[in-house]
Chain A
């Protein structure tokens, strides 16, 4: 079992996280994003987003049509201002989409920038082969270089401590002000560039060249430049492209169909010049295509993906790929370390079982005496238990002249020698038995039974003896973190199977697992056992997430679908995992899963919303298109819009405005609630599906009313 620096209960939010304080749209970010939106109008950039590319082409064609009309080469039944207004809104649609992507990128960049500040070039003291040092810039460091870092110096790059140990302040990365210990050998050897050594001297072997460290990788991911689309995103883009194609198939034949209506009505009325409707009007048909194709989700798709990475970063998790974050949402099984995640990391005296003639209070008192100078949590808890039982206000004090016997690995017990030659010892059962037998004492027959019973319920038995007399047994139990059971219930609702990893024996493990509501456990865990368990889960088709920090965790981290390495862990562990937690907080795994789920949910919800929106747009546009030839279709215009042109403009404006209105949701993500898939589905279907059908009816009508009130439409 690894013993990393588990900084016990997770702080609610790291304090110094600058980016977290930034507003959603701080003005400088918005300005840069705005500029960026215009830059992104370049067709070769738009091409990557098929839905918006279609809109851009439509806007360009409308512009051509306007020029043509202005020059008098084509005529229409409606005025040129309608086409100009239409075209402006088509361009705005593209710009809004660009803005959504740009603002997500800018926010990601700003987030990355705060991290990058830690990466400015610092002087490094490179160790030469002959033992002397030379001063170089941190940028010039290569993988394998050894550098010396002394107190109050900044560590120049990611690496492993290979010599010495030091107290390091990692606030620059984690935002956590409490310093941590990093030392050579063991699982706490990993250091991150940009953190500061507070004391002592260490030698660090650099493990990442300039521009290749985790932070650099993460920065590239949020900046979008090297962002690779995840499998789900690819599938969704494909579906959106297919929908775009479908709607073009729907709209293009409307042109000849509208011609059919025009020709027929002209001949029915016996007119000499053909009746015209908007149905044969190219810009109107383009407007219909733009309204129908899933522009809302098409515009927000990249932003959602970037924002997902960004959310991970805000939680101080560095994901090595977008896919890793997405896979987190699919996790079926989480392997959780007992210590730090489920229990507080120390044991408390829960019960005192006196043996023979000894009274309970006597046992407690003598145990407390033996523990007065024992500064371990167990010892403190024994003293506290006695104080509480007696209702004392002052702490127990041993009589003057007492000599304390500290715990050693050889004796496996500790205690006190009182001035009156009484020796009190507490320790592991076999150690105390040996001690008592050595003093020719008699071990009570019931001891074995009591010890076994205490062990059976998952507690650790501690036997207390006074000289050659066994007084009784103290049951030390793990203390669960507050609220852990509720947390585990939530995880179950999220569809996760929880597995506890512990170095305890199976009995103890089972008791704790049962108490915390955990599904399964790996007791007396070794890296091999963990790996075997994980492989077995994966063979059943499950996706497994785990957290680890030691070098011996590396194979398991690499095998896991989500391997979250602690930043405090070794370089090997960090290389093997696909995410690194800068806070080294073992409860982070749960947060990672929620972030992954939120990412997928946001995409699904906005896609559903986007498609459901189309229904209302039909009711606005179809009657308007045929007002010139089949005026009776007005009956299906349930919104009773002002005029054909205002109906079409309202639909296009709604279609454009909904994009910036949904940017906050795309960036923040749809709120994930651990409700279980079915109630979550019901909820989201109602909000985004049914809501998606209803909202545009209201929105389009409102826009129409506003335009009429402002006398903007004929």
Chain B
């Protein structure tokens, strides 16, 4: 039970050390590229950029990618590699999907196997996964260079090229080979027809013959490595990593889980290496690791080791609410009959788990995938015990428990600046970070970036909870449905992309005769949330780094607060914990906690 998560964490730590050295070597440009690659690198190199040019390049690149994605997805009915003749996705779903993959979110309001042709998988999904994953990486590199006081923060296009070609491509190839060996499909074919072992399990045709099973296949082994490494998370199949072809064996399960942890882990150390403050980054790494271990332990403890309280605990508990209409002034709240069902749960909560991987694999995966904002899943999030569901939500709310590549570290910097600002004054000096004085301008930019996330989660969640958009879409009304709504927006805003499901958000192909009734508002709302949640928290910190980097470096004295001590670690952790709790405690209480404590499991 604990072996798998322990092995994953140890392996990720072990890999992150050499990887961070490699990243540093690359991003500092100390390598010498082979001739062909060098030629291309010189081609994209438009010279050193200042922070504004870098940001503009980043935005223009993303606009181009948006247009490219929109065109490719719209071409699906006319494009090759579509033997099944799949038509258009519904327009708002295209909007949502394009943004989703552009922003590294990979929230999927469609099921891959029924909605996308291999053309779309190869020319839309694949490039987006590589490129969107590189953007956050580059932004972090730019921020580090600005923190060092550099006027020019590198060249965006060269950075993108380096990250894609020298980091993602080779590592993805390596993982792809492992996955293919383990049986993941890698083909241009679209379907495989199989005779089912059990005669007639697919039903009988007109002639009374047993129907064969049609299995959708494609270049799965090409998509999955970068899906995990780039913390994208958008599955080839709708079932994501719970699908037997997307995650065939326990070995692939281990490596897919490891793959999503590698880069977020390594990037924290790269931050320290590039700044020449390894000890500082080790403290940050330690804080993130402690939070991640806590969140993994929490979800395994409350899910793998506990039964679902909805099925056991509440039948006997009587609750009353005050009501004017009742004669006694109080009204009993009855439990639904399901709460009294005799369900054997001595193995913990097994609902929605992929038991091929062991009982704790799903829970551990759920915590990790949300901490590093990957969003792939190998178990049903909707079926986690209510309290266990808190762990993935907290991962997304904080969005800096390692977080996405680059952006997770950037998010942590926001908390760090707030912590440093408060604590720095407590030692009787103007707050300093990296020896540079933190002033009003830096705080303004940091607070703007910090504000975006809660606004984009709480605002739309409130709106959807009170209107038919949300209440009609949820499969389980009440606290559980509320959790589903909050989860969907948390996932969108954290650019995570996992979903609790249970929400009717899928329209499917444009020709779908009976789509989910509220799919369109969900497509639009989550699409906008993903868009706003992606760029402001990248641009504002770059501006902040520039502003801070311009300042003089004050010498370190005994009066300077050190940023590489255990005390600093506690300060950082305390800031994240308190600010995080203050932002999200009410929704946690209304969703998971209310569901756990209340007598109405599954919404009744």
Contacts and interface: CB of A to CB of B under 8 A. Distances in A.
B552 to A, nearest CB: 4
A635 interface: yes
Contacts of B448: 242
In this complex, the interface size class of chain B, counting residues with CB under 8 Å from chain A, is 35 or more
Contacts of B589: 622-623, 626, 633, 636
Contact of B554 (A258, A271, A542, A630): A542
Interface of A: 77, 231-232, 234-236, 238-239, 242, 245-247, 249-261, 263-265, 267-269, 271-273, 275, 292, 326, 329-330, 332, 492-497, 540-543, 596-598, 600-601, 603-605, 607-608, 611-612, 614-615, 618, 622-623, 626-633, 635-636, 672, 676-678, 680-682, 684-685, 688-689, 693
B426 A684 contact: yes
10 tightest A-B CB contacts, nearest first = A495-B559, A604-B425, A253-B462, A597-B428, A256-B466, A242-B447, A495-B557, A604-B426, A235-B440, A260-B465
Interface centre among A236, A253, A496, by most B CB within 10 Å? A253
Interface stretch (B213-221, B250-258, B590-598): B590-598
Given A234-B440, A269-B333, A600 B428 contact: yes
Contacts of B307: none
B555 A678 contact: no
A676 B554 contact: no
A269 B448 CA distance: 43
A271 B323 contact: yes
Contacts of B587: 257
Given A77-B322, A247-B582, A269-B331, 20 more contacts: A235-B439, A246-B450, A246-B582, A249-B451, A255-B462, A256-B463, A257-B461, A264-B477, A268-B333, A273-B325, A494-B559, A542-B555, A600-B430, A604-B423, A604-B425, A608-B423, A618-B586, A628-B321, A630-B590, A677-B560
Contact of B425 (A260, A494, A601, A676): A601
Contacts of B323: 269, 271, 275
Contacts of B600: 268
Nearest to B559: A495
Interface in B327-354: 331, 333
Contacts of B202: none
17 contacts: A234-B440, A235-B438, A238-B440, A249-B454, A250-B458, A256-B463, A257-B466, A268-B600, A268-B604, A269-B333, A330-B429, A494-B428, A607-B425, A622-B585, A632-B594, A677-B559, A677-B562
Interface of B: 319-325, 331, 333, 418, 421-430, 435, 437-440, 443-444, 447-448, 450-451, 454-455, 458-459, 461-463, 465-467, 470-471, 477-479, 481-482, 552-555, 557-562, 565, 567, 570-571, 574, 578-579, 581-583, 585-587, 589-590, 593-594, 597-600, 604
Nearest to B326: A271
A681 B571 contact: yes
Main secondary structure of the interface of B (DSSP, over half): helix
Interface centre among B450, B466, B565, B599 (most CB of A within 10 A): B466
B462 A256 contact: yes
A235 B443 contact: yes
Contacts of B594: 261, 626, 630, 632-633
Contacts of B559: 332, 493-496, 676-677
A680 B593 contact: no
B597 A632 contact: yes
Contacts of B571: 681, 685
Contacts of A542: 554-555
Contact of B471 (A260, A601, A672, A676): A260
Contact of B570 (A77, A596, A685): A685
B554 A250 contact: no
Given A242-B450, A253-B461, A542-B554, A633 B583 contact: no
Nearest to B485: A260
B426 A678 contact: no
Contact of B582 (A614, A626, A631): A614
B574 A684 contact: no
A238 B443 contact: yes
B578 A600 contact: no
Contacts of B459: 249, 253
B425 A541 contact: no
B593 A235 contact: no
Contacts of A596: 428
A677 B430 contact: no
Nearest to B441: A235
Given A250-B454, A259-B466, A631 B421 contact: no
Contacts of B562: 677-678
Given A232-B430, A677-B560, A685-B574, A254 B585 contact: no
Contacts of B447: 238-239, 242
Contacts of A685: 423, 426, 567, 570-571, 574
A388 to B, nearest CB: 41
A681 B567 contact: yes
Contacts of A603: 425
A342 to B, nearest CB: 20
A398 B323 CA distance: 109
Contacts of B478: 264-265, 268
A258 B461 CA distance: 12
A17 B599 CA distance: 70
A356 B481 CA distance: 105
B474 to A, nearest CB: 10
B428 A598 contact: yes
Contact of B553 (A255, A541, A684): A541
A492 B558 contact: yes
A239 B430 CA distance: 14
A677 B558 contact: yes
Nearest to A625: B586
Residue among B319, B429, B459, B560 with the highest chain A CB neighbour number at 10 A: B429
A678 B565 contact: yes
B411 to A, nearest CB: 15
Contacts of B428: 329, 494, 596-598, 600-601, 672, 680
Nearest to A634: B597
A273 B321 CA distance: 14
Nearest to B597: A632
Nearest to A593: B428
A618 B585 contact: yes
Contact of A260 (B466, B555, B560, B570): B466
Nearest to B430: A330
Contact of A273 (B324, B463, B555, B599): B324
A232 B461 contact: no
A77 B579 CA distance: 32
A597 B429 contact: yes
A261 B590 contact: yes
